[in-house]
Amino acid sequence: MLDSLDARLLLLLTDSPRLGVLECARRLGVARGTVQARLDRLTERGVLGGFPPELDLAAMGYSLTAFAVLEIAQGKRSGVAEALAAIDEVCEVHATTGQGDLFVRLVARDNDDLQRVIDEVVGVTDVLRTSTSIALSTPVPPRVRPLLERTARRDS
């Protein structure tokens, strides 16, 4: 479980990922060693995995986002996931329950490029069937802020 200080630290780093430990300590009103210990603990627990930059895929030329539900051969998930990871345009793969076995988020430059990517996905050994939907917009982008804010308020 995160406490209020953990959540406030993570919110601070979410807003300004380039802040140093000393500046975080100053803004949070705690000792530098406290911030460093919290960061170390959050990293060890796997809560904090790094500080990647926030990238706009459309600005990079990948203006199309699509989601594919894959049905795969029984017992072949790890091999299929490994092959999907080798396709550059595959951004995420989730093992799921329900209609399909894997839920895949992928990007492409345009419709023709999407067809090429789908052909690569369908060409993966043990992919039996796929159903793809194109995202028209992203009204709620990926986020963790509301969870952190609730935790920060909980202990305050």
Residue with tokens 């709620």: 140
pLDDT score of 146? 94
Q: Is a pLDDT exceeding 70 seen at residue 156?
A: no
Looking at residue 60, its pLDDT comes to 95
pLDDT at residue number 154: 83
pLDDT tens per residue, range 52-97 = 778 899 999 999 999 999 999 999 999 999 999 999 999 999 999 9
| % of the chain exceeding 70 in pLDDT | 99
Long-range contacts of 108-113 (CB under 8 A, 24+ apart): 108/62, 108/64, 108/66, 109/61, 109/62, 109/63, 109/64, 110/63, 110/64, 111/64, 113/64, 113/89
Distance CA 25, CA 33 (A): 8
| H, E, C per residue of 92-137 | EEEECCCCCCEEEEEEECCHHHHHHHHHHHHCCCCEEEEEEEECCC
Structural tokens at position 110:
């345009």
pTM across the whole model: 0.82
Contact 69/58 with Cβ under 8 angstroms? no
Q: Summarize the confidence of residues 117-139 as an average pLDDT.
A: 97
The strand pairing partners of 90, in sequence order, are 106
Q: How far apart (Å, rounded) are the C-alpha atoms in residues 13 and 42? A: 13
pLDDT tier, 50 (very low <50, low <70, confident <90, very high otherwise): confident
> How much is the mean pLDDT over the chain?
94
Residue 155's pLDDT is: 65
Domains present along the chain, CATH in parentheses: 4-53 (1.10.10.10), 58-135 (3.30.70.920)
DSSP conformation class of 74: T
Residue 30 tokens read as 């705690």
